[in-house]
Amino acid sequence: MPRICLVTHFFPPHKGGIEQVSFEQSKRLTKFGYQTDVLTSKIEDRNKHPAEGINVYNFPSLNIASRFGVPYPIISLDSYKLFSQVIQKSDIVHAHGHVYLSSYLAGMFAKKYKKPFIVTQHNTFIDYESWLNVVENLNDFVVGKSVLKKADRILTVSNETKKYVLRLGANKTKTSVIYNGVDTETFHPANKKENQNKLGLPTNRKIVLSVRRLVYKNGLGTLIESVPYVAKKYPDILFVVAGKGPSKTLIEERIKELNIEHNIKLTGFVPDELLPNYYAAADYFVLPSASGEGLPLVLLEAMSSGRTVVATIVGGTPEILKHNKNGLLVPAKQPKAMADAFCELLSNENLGQVLGEEARKTIEEQFAWEKNVDQLREVYEDFL
């Protein structure tokens, strides 16, 4: 039985894109006879055995950066022994994210014990437009470049992400793209009114959904500023934002300042089991990213659910979403352009229906998790 040491800064039940990708891959790999040992930071309510064939080993860490909306655990020195023990018995070491100290440590022990070292990079550079950019650049060049140099293979979730790691010195011959996937059975077109009733959402209003962690790079400022433009022409439009995060208070204050409480609803955290219902209850989905995206899972989930998507031209999104073919693309950080896109959809319901149907077809043909895992297994087999 091949033994994979999976290294990730966080892992479910912690929520996030990297966490979800690594878990979705791991639980499917077990069906092919792989054993996965997960090295991840210790969090409350951790699940030591989230699925058969997956063992979770939690290393102690400090999460100081979380107060700035940055998920970057600082590893304790006590973690070294645990990393050594788990990696020593593995066949392959697979780290997620090039900038994390856990990836750096994993690469160090992989080389020490002569284990193949694979790195998956998920995001592009995140432009915080603040002093955090200096810290991010420094981390890229001190930690990130070292991790990429140690890697025997580098996987990226989009071509834009690939360009990012190549600029940091990744070996082009060792770097390839494996797009993220989605569970097409969980996220599928369903009866809108039934799901609206289940969630207590109005059945007589057009609903635009966004599933976002409430942090800067997710572009919620752009979305909120676009609402008055749309509401002026379509007063009953309702934007539903599902998620939580450190920018919640700022967002609530801005909603009051713009006097758009009637047109936007913050649901707070939505559990995984209800997410398909929210997609099904919406007429449209919006992805207002400002920067830093690789290939957002919520984009794939919305498309798989047959929703009409309006998204910003950021990261790998335009590689999947094609303007006027299976969705609408708008420039980042331009609220008026985003509002215009929704007004176009609201004035032409047939266009929205066609784009939603094409979105579902795109996912069915190219982006199921099974295809993603098949490609990952091919990479693993090169080293086994």
Q: What is the largest CA-CA distance in the chain?
A: 64
* Cα separation values, 111 from 92, 187, 348, Å: 11, 40, 58
Assigned token pair, 23: 């878990």
Q: Are strands 264-268 and 238-242 parallel, antiparallel or unpaired?
A: parallel
Q: What pLDDT is attached to residue 69?
A: 54
Q: What pLDDT is attached to residue 48?
A: 56
Q: What is the mean pLDDT of the chain?
A: 91
Secondary-structure breakdown of the chain: helix, strand, coil percentages, each rounded to the nearest 5: 45, 20, 35
**What CA–CA distance (Å, rounded) separates 305 from 298?**
10
Looking at residues 131-155, what average pLDDT do you find?
84
* Cα separation values, 16 from 19, 57, 92, 121, 309, Å: 5, 19, 24, 14, 21
Looking at residues 27-40, what average pLDDT do you find?
93
Burial 207-216 (b: 16+ CB within 10 A, else e): bbbbbbbbbb
Are the C-beta atoms of residues 363 and 184 closer than 8 Å to each other?
A: yes
Are the C-beta atoms of residues 280 and 192 closer than 8 Å to each other?
A: yes
Strand (E) or helix (H) holding 4? strand 3-7
Between 224 and 41, where is the model more confident?
224
pLDDT > 60? residue 68 = no
Q: Where does the chain hold its CATH 3.40.50.2000 domain(s)?
A: 3-181+368-381, 192-366
Are the C-beta atoms of residues 232 and 318 closer than 8 Å to each other?
A: no
Decide which of 3.40.50.2000, 3.40.50.2300, 3.30.420.40, 2.60.40.1120 is the CATH code for 3-181+368-381. 3.40.50.2000
pLDDT > 80? residue 43 = no
Between 272 and 60, where is the model more confident?
272
pLDDT > 80? residue 60 = no
Q: What pLDDT is attached to residue 41?
A: 86
Burial 281-292 (b: 16+ CB within 10 A, else e): bbbbbbbbbbbb
For residue 73, name the pLDDT band (cuts at 50, 70, 90): low
**What CA–CA distance (Å, rounded) separates 228 from 339?**
8
Q: What pLDDT is attached to residue 20?
A: 92
**What CA–CA distance (Å, rounded) separates 97 from 20?**
13
Most confident range (mean pLDDT) of 4-18, 42-56, 78-92 is 78-92
For residue 72, name the pLDDT band (cuts at 50, 70, 90): low
In percent, how much of the chain has pLDDT > 70?
92
Instruction: Report CA 375 to chain centroid distance, whole Å.
Output: 19
Assigned token pair, 132: 């955090």
- Cα angle 195, 196, 201 (rounded to 5 degrees) comes to 150
Decide which of 3.40.50.300, 3.40.50.2000, 3.30.565.10, 3.30.70.1400 is the CATH code for 192-366. 3.40.50.2000
Looking at residues 160-171, what average pLDDT do you find?
95
pLDDT > 80? residue 2 = yes
Amino acid in position 300: L
Q: What pLDDT is attached to residue 75?
A: 76
For residue 382, name the pLDDT band (cuts at 50, 70, 90): very high
Encode pLDDT of 324-375 as tens digits: 999 999 999 999 999 999 999 999 999 999 999 999 999 999 999 999 999 9
Most confident range (mean pLDDT) of 72-81, 117-126, 137-146 is 117-126
Assigned token pair, 69: 């909306």
Assigned token pair, 72: 């970057």
Between 137 and 86, where is the model more confident?
86
Encode pLDDT of 246-304 as tens digits: 888 989 999 999 999 999 999 999 999 999 999 999 999 999 998 888 999 999 999 99
Assigned token pair, 160: 């834009």
